[in-house]
Structures are given as C-alpha cells and as structure tokens.
Chains A and B, each alone.
Chain A
Amino acid sequence: MNFSSLQRTLTSAIIAGVFAGLLISLVQIVTTIPIITEAETYENQAASSAADDHHSAPAGAAATEAPAAHSHGDEDSWAPEDGVERLTYTFLSNVIAGVGFALLLGAAMTMRGRAITVQSGALWGVSGFLVFSLLPAAGLPPEVPGTQGAPVELRQMWWFLTVACSAVALALIAFKPSWIWRGVGIALLLVPHVIGAPHPEVASSTAPAALAAEFAILTMISSAIFWIMIGSVSGFISEKFQ
C-alpha cells in the first residue's frame, strides 16, 4: 500500500489519539475524576451556604465574595447527567483531545522528517507533555472545581502563549546544533514565565489545599501517561506503515 504523507499522518494520529483517549479515561476514573467530584461537593456546599448568608445578612457581603456556584451563570444550560452520561462525554472529550494532540504532534514529527519508532515517538510524547502540560502548569497550576482564578480569557491567552513559546523553544534546543540558537531557545522558554501567568488579586478555593495538591500531582502523572501513549502509539503505527 502506498500512502501519501497526509494519509499516513492522519491515520496514525487518529489511531493513537483514540487509543490514548480511551486509556486515559480509564486512568482518570481512578485518579482525577474522584477528586473533581469531591471538590464539587465542597463547591456546592459553599454556594448553598453563601445563598443562605445572602438571605440573612443585610449587606450580603459574604455572598458576593463566595465563589460562584458551578452552573456558570445559566441555571438552565445543558449539562450531562451525573453518572454514565457524564462519563460518556468525558470519554468522548478525551478521545477528541487525544486525536487533536496526536495531530499536532504528527505535524511536528512530519516537519522534522525523520522516521519515527516506538522509542522516538515516546520521546516526542515527553516533549508534548512538557509543552502542553508541565510548562503551562508551572504558571497556571491544575485547578480543582471551586478554585477562583483570574478571568478565563486571560488564562487561555497565557496558556496559548506558553505552549507556542515552549514548542518553538524545545525545537531550537533539541534540533539546532549552534549554541546561539539553543540560548535563544532557553530564553524563549522563560519568556511567558517572566511575563507571569494571570492570577486573581485574592486567590480562594472551596476545596481543601491537600485535595488541590493531590489533584495537581495526579493530573501531571496522567497527562504524562496520555502524551507518552500518544507519541509511542504514533511511532508504532508509523513503523508499521514503513
């Protein structure tokens, strides 16, 4: 079979993304999802006690300072039912994210133009983890529900800036033989962190700090598994296509 470059990239990204998305969903069921659920009970408690305060307190100061309830404004906006429906959407979202990340990684690997094996694919996966998970999390730590952050648009912009700078920086450091370019890469790696991630004036969270810390560690471990799966399965598929 003679596949074009595009067909090869798309096929291996789809297979790797679906596989990694399904696997990471199973990992999340025993790691991050129980913490999200627990954090939401704290969040809902805080929201309902804030509502009670609002009825009794004359100024309602406590209510305005309390983090917003989890419904994000519209009470009537659609959300999946807790249980199987919610889990199904999580699986679906993870598979879409897996395919999306695998396509971005595939684009980078194709641009580099070297043959990819399971081992080198895993290394590409590690760089994906650094670019898309660890380095953005260095500025914007993983957040459990109920955490009061800076406006989401600002955080998304900083996240995007960090991913773009880190991707170019890692490519310069890894692929450029000249130390000048590697120096530029290191500088670029630091740029978003020197600018600084957006943080709220007063940080607050309804969940206990220990829960947030556990969540931060588990998201990093599961993201690392996710990315290494994406990379190594992409490598496996492209070995088969050779």
Chain B
Amino acid sequence: MTNPQMTTAETSVQVSAGKMTSVIVSAMIGFFLIYGVGFAQPNALHNAAHDSRHSLVFPCH
C-alpha cells in the first residue's frame, strides 16, 4: 500500500526510509497491543479485558 501518487509532481510521495521505519514499527506495536487486548485466548487475559472486549465489539468467547 505504498501509494506514490501519480497525479502531479507536488503530490508524488517519496517514501523515505525513516518514514517507512515509523510506519512498520508503529503498525507492529499497534497490532501486538490490539492482539493482546482483543484476541489473546488465555483465560486470565480474557477475563481482565472482558468488558472492554464486549464494549469495543471484539469477537469474544
């Protein structure tokens, strides 16, 4: 989904290495946190996050 826009020179995005690092690192940490709070199956984790899972509409038990 790197989308260098083709329309004008002004909008053509040169995705720098620093920007890509920031995209990948934040997406990975974000994914890990959401997995833990919304998806992980161990009972203790499920019970701790229970009301949050129901309220934020994660698929729950």
Contact = CB atoms under 8 A, between A and B. Distances in A.
Contacts of B41: 152
B19 A100 contact: no
Q: Is the interface of B mostly helix, strand, loop or mixed?
A: helix
Interface string A89-101: 1101110110111
Interface string A115-145: 0000000000000000001001100101111
A100 B37 contact: yes
Contacts of A93: 37, 48-49, 51-53
Given A78-B44, A145-B54, A149-B59, A97 B38 contact: yes
B23 interface: yes
Interface string B20-52: 011111110111111011110101101111111
26 contacts: A5-B18, A8-B22, A13-B30, A28-B51, A33-B51, A33-B55, A72-B43, A72-B47, A73-B43, A78-B43, A78-B44, A93-B37, A93-B53, A97-B33, A99-B33, A100-B37, A103-B29, A104-B31, A111-B15, A142-B57, A152-B41, A155-B59, A156-B39, A156-B59, A219-B56, A226-B56
The 6 tightest CB contacts between A and B, nearest first, are A103-B30, A100-B33, A93-B52, A155-B59, A77-B43, A79-B47
Given A97-B33, A104-B31, A222-B55, 13 more contacts: A4-B22, A10-B26, A72-B46, A79-B48, A94-B55, A97-B37, A97-B52, A100-B30, A136-B57, A145-B54, A149-B59, A149-B61, A175-B5
Interface of A: 4-6, 8-10, 13, 24, 28, 31-33, 36, 72-74, 77-80, 86, 89-90, 92-94, 96-97, 99-104, 106-107, 110-111, 113, 133, 136-137, 140, 142-145, 149, 152, 155-156, 158-159, 168, 171, 175-177, 219, 222-223, 226
